[in-house]
Amino acid sequence: MNSLAFIGRVGSGELLLILLVFLVLFGAKKIPEIARELGKGIREFKNATKEIAEELEDQPQERKDG
């Protein structure tokens, strides 16, 4: 069973409720800071995965002759 299957059924009302709860918990001043830090984290993750992919492409390919 897929535990994330319920995500496809989130409607606009539920999404609005989630955003409202998020606003109440963190406040209007804190949300831009959280979004900025989240963006930085995503950017760093993308850069790291890109560097790893480039390193793997630069390594010589090993062949197995059989």
Please provide the DSSP assignment of 4-30 as one string.
TGGGGG--HHHHHHHHHHHHHHH-TTH
pLDDT 10s digits, 48-60: 999 999 998 888 7
Percent of the chain whose pLDDT exceeds 90: 33
- Chain mean position to CA 45: 9
At residue 57, the 3 state secondary structure works out as helix
- Reply yes or no on whether the pLDDT at 1 is more than 50: no
Contact criterion met (CB below 8 Å) for 3 and 11: no
CB atoms inside a 10 Å sphere around CB 22: 13
- Reply yes or no on whether the pLDDT at 66 is more than 60: no
